[in-house]
Structure 1
Amino acid sequence: MAKTKLNAEREHRIEMEIVVDAYTEEECAMSWYCYLEEQLSFPFTASVRKPMDSSPLPTGEHVCVTRLVHEDLCRVGIFVWVRWKERDVVAPLAQIAPLSGDKPTRVAVADWHYWHDQDRSF
């Protein structure tokens, strides 16, 4: 995927507040997990913003995001539990765009999308 345009404010928040003391891949993953755990308010409605090989969710589908998955599963990316077609599914947060939710939730998800869409990894 093409990289998104650099955003100085978001870059500063990510570097100075989220991954500031993360020196290894595992520390980076846990830094992101802790940040999202603190910022996200569940449940919130969302739409699927793009297809991903690791998820059955089609683009444009509406889902209810209910919680983060256990931190042990977020060592390679951030995943959330969503309610879709009367079942619970694990989906990458990079695939989900909030339709509702408070400002901290929307900002935190946008931060993760920005990081992910820059092709950054832990």
Structure 2
Amino acid sequence: MSDQADCIMLRGIAAEAIVGVYDFERHRTRPVPIDLTLWCDLAAAATTDDVAETIDYDGVTQTVHQICATLQPALIETLAGTIAARLLEDARIRAVTVTVHKPGAVAGVDDIAVRLHRSQAERP
């Protein structure tokens, strides 16, 4: 959680990626639903009703899809960390929580997921 109370949540971004440690996982994309919470100041958007005062939801979603299409990591932890770092390039986003799901990754388990929380204060 961030000290900033305002946030934008995007749930169930329908992303696909090549991700996995095993050889059979490296040949085709698989669904990796992604949830985001973007901690940012929404006071101006709430009072002005001006889209320029908020984060572009579609742009964020496109960024996630682009990363998923090109990165091809072994670990969903790497995918989540890369998404967090890229989104924090926008200084208006003070912190981000990224959850990457890998349903069906383990037999008998509906879903495996990792959740990372990163903030501007942690950026190099």
Q: TM-score of the superposition, structure 1-length normalised? A: 0.26
Q: Which structure has the highest strand share of the two?
A: 2
Return the index of the structure with the highest Cα Rg: 2
Q: Which structure has the highest helix share of the two?
A: 1
